[in-house]
Amino acid sequence: QNIYHEIFQAKKANKKLLAILLDPDKVDLKNIKSLVSKIKQSPATHIFIGGSLVLNNSIDQIILELKKEISLPVLLFPGNPSQISNEAHGILFLSLLSGRNPDFLIEHQVKAAPILKKSNLEIISTGYILIESGNKTAVASVSKTIPLPRHNAEIAVDTALAGEFLGNKLIYLEAGSGAKLQVPLETISLVAKNISIPLIVGGGITNFDGIHEAFLAGADLVVIGTAFENNPNFFTNFNL
């Protein structure tokens, strides 16, 4: 239960956290050494691994390579139950609360449960909320759900609160990987003010201002995927 405890303590201490999201399909094991060194030079506090459409079955190997050199917690961020690896430290056990597709609300979770029962992964219940972001992202297509409207922060607050009341330990406001627009700051701010569990924000954040603004609005942990994938030097001169 350490990873969650630390995220919660960081929130209480107003210490901001940053995750690098790796899509196993885009990680080339041949170049893993340079990836590892870039992650080590970055201010990342967590590594998330997963994606909507992972086809690559080398996720175990990728995590093993990362763990050889990096001591950061590795959390699975799975698109479906086939993306579970016992090599990770924990898993964001997601339920897509913004959608009304039972597969992503509970079906995949039921399928994953017996696999997780046998694992040593720290299981962190996460309410996953997709916000409309100007383009159709993979998570919206794969999950066949409609994101919450962009300019209705109240519905995001009510959804996040429902997640907290159902027992979620984290809320993740997601614009979708490669989103044109990041989650609106007003939504981050209202959700952060209303929930008492840590808030993750990601999707479409491509520069330092975007990260700082998300933190200032109330995000406890920001996720960067595409920007780092496109430019491994993305974090040069960035400090938390």
Site residues, ligand 1GP (CB under 6 A): 21, 174, 177-179, 202-205, 223-227
Asked whether residue 23 is marked as a ligand-binding residue, the answer is: yes
List C-alpha distances in Å: 226 to 73, 151, 158, 205.
20, 24, 29, 8
What residues does 128 pair with on adjacent strands? 96, 172
C-alpha Rg value of the chain to the nearest Å: 16
Q: Is 178 annotated as a binding residue?
A: yes
Q: Binding site annotation covers 189?
A: no
Q: Which residues of 138-168 are buried (b: 16+ CB within 10 A; e: fewer)?
A: ebbeebebebbebeebeebbebbbebbeeeb
Is residue 144 left, alpha or beta, with left meaning phi > 0 and alpha meaning psi from -120 to 50?
A: left
**Which residue's Cβ has the minimum distance to ligand 1GP?**
202
CB 182, min distance to ligand 1GP, A: 8
User: Smallest distance, Å, CB 136 to ligand 1GP?
Assistant: 14
174 is in an annotated binding site: yes
Shortest Å distance, C-beta 224 to ligand 1GP:
5
Annotation: binding site for Mg(2+): 23, 52
Annotation: binding site: 23, 52, 172-178, 203-204, 225-226
Annotation: binding site for sn-glycerol 1-phosphate: 172-178, 203-204, 225-226
